[in-house]
Amino acid sequence: MRDDSALVLFSGGQDSATCLAWALDRFGHVETLGFDYGQRHVIELQTRQAMRDALCRDAGWAAKLGEDHVLDLRALGGISDTSLTRDVAIEMETGGLPNTFVPGRNLIFLTFAAALSYRRGIKNIVTGVCETDYSGYPDCRDDTIKALQVAINLGMERRFVLHTPLMWRDKAATWELAEQLGGPTLVEAIRTVTHSCYLGDRTPHEWGAGCGTCPACELRAAGWRKYRCN
């Protein structure tokens, strides 16, 4: 396995785009992986190529950016009764988690990413999960990722490294990281191209496109305002 290779879980959103820039800044060869799991905001998959193009054109990382992969995991959406996979209102559930939580999503994503990395000879797997600005999802927590890395390495007899560059960053710090990596040009590409809105809305705002009221939009907007004030 190549130590200088990485596979980035790239949804087409702000966080994963920042992670892709982070990986391109550090590794010699980077591939991307997206998932179609029956999400209502499937439009995010349509922004992926435009963001990849922007990273190659504006940041000069074309020589490092390798293949893009998209896996069909709609079976996950079929067994998930959530507001991301069903036409229902976003609300809190009795257990304290919002109904945007898709049980097992990141566990499944990272396991499939490791399986693909195994075949591709890639050592480093990068994901944008975060324990700072998030909705309390248990599969975004640092302890979960560390435990999963151990399980994957034992189960596949490989030494994969799961990288979480945003784990301890809030959304403002994520915008700041993008600026450090690619300057204002990268920030503008992420702002205008990427998609985070859970409802798939592309209404333009100063912080990007979205409905402006779902949890993903509220986090992104608040982070943008804090970043701009710094």
Q: Identify the pLDDT of residue 120.
A: 97
Provide, rounded to the nearest whole percent, the portion of the chain with pLDDT above 90: 72
CA separation for the pair 11, 33 (Å, rounded): 8
pLDDT tens-place string over residues 59-97? 789 999 999 999 998 888 787 777 667 777 777 776 677
Q: Which residue has the tokens 């029956």?
A: 38
Region class of 195: left (phi > 0), else alpha (psi between -120 and 50), else beta: beta
pLDDT tens-place string over residues 183-216? 999 999 999 999 999 888 999 999 999 999 998 9
CA separation for the pair 138, 109 (Å, rounded): 14
First-to-last C-alpha distance (Å) of the chain: 41
Q: For residue 92, what is the DSSP state?
A: B
CA separation for the pair 181, 46 (Å, rounded): 24
Q: Which two tokens stand for residue 60?
A: 């000069």
Specify burial of residue 8 (Cβ count, 10 A radius: 0-12, 13-18, 19+): buried
Q: Which two tokens stand for residue 82?
A: 């959530």
Binding-site residue numbers for ATP are 10-20
Task: Check: CB of residue 91 under 8 Å from CB of residue 82.
Answer: no
**CA dist 142 → 26, 112, 145, 167 (Å):** 21, 19, 5, 7
Q: Is the pLDDT of residue 98 over 90?
A: no
pLDDT band of 115, cuts 50, 70, 90: very high
* HEC per residue, 153-220: HHHHCCCCEEECCCCCCCHHHHHHHHHHHHHHHHHHHHHHHCECCCCCCCCEECCEECCCCCHHHHHH
Q: Is the pLDDT of residue 100 over 80?
A: no
Percent helix / strand / coil, the chain, rounded to 5: 45, 15, 35
Amino acid in the structure at residue 186: L
Binding-site residue numbers are 10-20, 197, 211, 214, 217
Strands 204-205 and 208-209: antiparallel
What's the count of helices (H) and strands (E) in the chain, helices before strands? 8, 7
Closest to 14 measured CA to CA, from 109, 128, 142: 128
Binding-site residue numbers for Zn(2+) are 197, 211, 214, 217
Q: Which domains does the chain have, with CATH numbers?
A: 2-171 (3.40.50.620)
* pTM for this predicted structure: 0.93
